[in-house]
Structures are given as C-alpha cells and as structure tokens.
Structure 1
C-alpha cells in the first residue's frame, strides 16, 4: 500500500469510537465521533496554502484530504468538532515514506511536519515530534470498512495518553477496485 491508496481507502463517512488511557492519572475516557474524510485536488487553494506554510513546493504534494469531525467525550458530555487538511509529500527515494503536513490553526505555532512510513503489513506509522510533545500512531484497515488506530502521546512534562480507536465506515465507499484490493491485502 502507498499513501495515495491509504488516503483513497480512507474517504467516506466513519463512526469513530476512541478509548484513551491517561497513564499518569490512571483514568480512562471514551469519545465517539462522526468523521468525514474527503480527498482534495492538489491544486485546491487549501493544499497550496498548507504547502506554503511548511515552505514546501506544492508540486511536491502527492495527495491531500480534508477531515471533519463532530463528536462527544462521554465522561463530561463535552462536544468537540472541527476540521483539518492533511497533505502528504512522498520521499523521492523511498515511496513507502514521506512527510505529512497538517493544517495548524494556532498561527503562533511553528508548523511541524509528521513523518509517515508503511510497515511490512501495510499499516501506516505516523510520528510527530516538537519541543513540547511526541506522538506515534499506527493506522491500519482490518477490512475495507473497519479501520483501527493506536497511538501514544507524550508531553515534555511527562504527561502521557495511550488511545485505541476503531472506525467503522458508514458511507461513501471507496471505488470497488480499491476496496477489493484492500480486502485482499488485509486478508493476506
């Protein structure tokens, strides 16, 4: 699998159920969200603007997506919603790796590109590090309509959160050929 296929297989409407464990406090919380993932054209103004924020030539982008979410944190019924744009920039020497650019809402913050790579079983491994935190996330398809994610977020002050998320596709299926390929790669 490559990043373009991963983005394409991720398009659609998903129901997400996340369980997070706050390791220092020995507390857990659950959240549920509806997520919509749409691919964006590489000449979309949002894609070009994001590349420019990271000082990357927009012609280097390999694929892009807009992710919108709306959900609730179960513990205190807190609502959370928003959207972000992601742009991948594939490594010219290794097509299984590259940078992942994420839209930064806080303009005072310096953008930090994530690094992605695919492991031998087709899972996407994403790492992001800056002066205040580090994140490692693993995403994979258990089937074309079931996506899983695990991540560990560590802050520089010692605070850590580990999460497991299952996402079930509720609509907007990928093209049949891609879904068939994903099913074959998941089952092998």
Structure 2
C-alpha cells in the first residue's frame, strides 16, 4: 500500500496515478440511486474490475489520438469492466470503459480525463481533481450533460463514491456507492515516464 494512502493525521496527498493504483483489483459495489426529478429511489449491485494500463497500451494511444493529443502526455490508462443489475431488473448488464488522465502542467493534481465507453466507440473529455483529502472528483460536462463523481477510500479495501448527473431535459440523478475489494491485481511495472 502506498505511503500516501489517506490516513488520519497524514499530510501527504496522492496523485491520480497512485489513486488508480490503489483502486486496482476486483470489487463488489452496492448502489442506492435517487431520481431527483420523479422522486423515486432504486438499489443495485455490480461486480467490476479496475485494471491499470501502461501509457504505451494501444487503447490509451488510440484514445489520445482520437482527441488529437500526444500519447506521451498520458499518465496511464485505466480499464473498468463489469456488470450490474438493479432491484427491479435482476439481469446483469455488462459494460466497460477506459479512462486516461492527462495532468495540467500548472496544477499537478488536476487535469483532463479522456473517457471512452465500450472499447472507445464513444469518448468524451472531462476533467479530474485530486483534493487535499485524497478524494478524486471526476467531471464530464457538455451542452446536454453535467456528471460529477467523487471517490475516496475509507480503508484499503473499502471505497466510497457519490455521483450526480443532470441532463438538459431536466432529468437529475444522485447515487451513493459502497465498493468492497474482493481481490487485488498487481499494477503494471511501468505506469509513469
């Protein structure tokens, strides 16, 4: 475990690559979500895996090139894959995404976040911020959507997450996730230049 892992009394702040390294592994997630427009709630669960990718991975390079960015500026790549279900729909729904953080040269704990869904068929550019409390905030914003997620570790194998999404048509959704690690995957040997 990184010496920069959030603990009481720790004054060190991790960077985005260390956060993703700490997130590597197999997870079980329980979700409580609330449709703020219709004032309805639902619960769900999922199994997912977080895999750290080196910045030389072809998926990372392809995603950078799609957005006309030099792949050497990528800090790493992260593949998240899994399946989830809701209380009313027990069928599992598989999906995957790839995240590529690119640091802001003037603010080392902030930067762009390239986000591709389902093998880079659809991708967007968002941003990330690593706070002094070691919580990571991921934001995607465009003319039709504002989505924000905040993730932090309560302990080494317990991660918490909140999300809020608002669409231009007025639909709003908020959710809280409790994520428990089921197994650890060793990060690749080289993630930084």
- After superposition, residues 79-158 of structure 1 pair within 5 angstroms as 79-105=92-118, 107=121, 111-158=123-170
Give the CA deviation at 1:8: 0.2
| Contact residue 7 and residue 63 of structure 1 kept, 8 A | no
What 5-or-longer segments of structure 2 have no aligned partner? 1-13, 188-193
- 2:176 aligns with one of 149, 157, 164: 164
What 5-or-longer segments of structure 1 have no aligned partner? 176-188
Q: 2:82 corresponds to which residue?
A: 69
- 1:35 aligns with one of 38, 48, 55: 48
| Contact residue 147 and residue 167 of structure 1 kept, 8 A | yes
Q: 1:180 corresponds to which residue?
A: none
The whole-number CA distance in structure 1 between the counterparts of 2:169 and 2:98 is 28
The whole-number CA distance in structure 2 between the counterparts of 1:142 and 1:173 is 19
Q: 1:23 corresponds to which residue?
A: 36
Aligned residues: 173
SS of residue paired to 2:124: coil
SS of residue paired to 2:108: coil
Query: 1:72-119, CA deviations, whole angstroms, 9 ceiling, x for partnerless residues?
Result: 112222421111111110111111101111114585x6x431111112
The whole-number CA distance in structure 2 between the counterparts of 1:39 and 1:4 is 9
| Contact residue 24 and residue 185 of structure 2 kept, 8 A | yes
SS of residue paired to 1:43: coil
The whole-number CA distance in structure 2 between the counterparts of 1:47 and 1:173 is 19
The whole-number CA distance in structure 1 between the counterparts of 2:26 and 2:89 is 25
Query: 1:149-185, CA deviations, whole angstroms, 9 ceiling, x for partnerless residues?
Result: 001100001100000001000001668xxxxxxxxxx
Report the structure, 1 or 2, having the larger helix content: 1
